[in-house]
Amino acid sequence: MLRREEIKDLLAGYGMTTARVIGWAGAGKDLPGPAEIAVDINAPTDLTGGDLAKIDREVGALVGLEVVVVVQRPGEGTVLPGEKIKFTKAGTAMFCRPDAKGRLRWGKP
């Protein structure tokens, strides 16, 4: 990613970690539309939609592309189709996946 450390530092200032490129840009394709960067937020935050739009513009200015920052809680990026996810009060991700007999079971990833 262009200017990786600068982007990581910018996002860290907003409490965001584990930045990764997703969508068309993450697949190495050249399509119209904004590039998407998924980030984790590990703690409750008071960021608003306006704050996220500002972050999108700041990251976009660094890389010279239109960018959308997609906020995820840790673990959300690993949910597969048909799975469910919930978070404990401690913030731990729990997944609901079928076992060998097809019964749905909650467990850690």
pLDDT tens, per residue, the chain with 109 residues: 458 889 889 999 998 888 888 776 666 667 677 888 888 887 777 888 888 899 999 999 998 888 989 887 766 666 655 566 666 676 666 666 667 777 777 776 5
CATH number assigned to the domain with residue range 4-72, chosen from the 4 options 2.60.40, 1.20.1630, 3.30.300, 3.90.120: 3.30.300
User: In three state form, how does the secondary structure of the chain look?
Assistant: CCCHHHHHHHHHCCCEEEEEEEHHHHCCCCCCCCEEEEEEECCCCCCCHHHHHHHHHHHHHHHCCCEEEEEECCCHHHCCCCCEEEECCCCCEEEEEECCCCCEEEECC
pTM: 0.63
Locate the domains of the chain by residue range.
Answer: 4-72, 80-107
pLDDT score at 86: 67
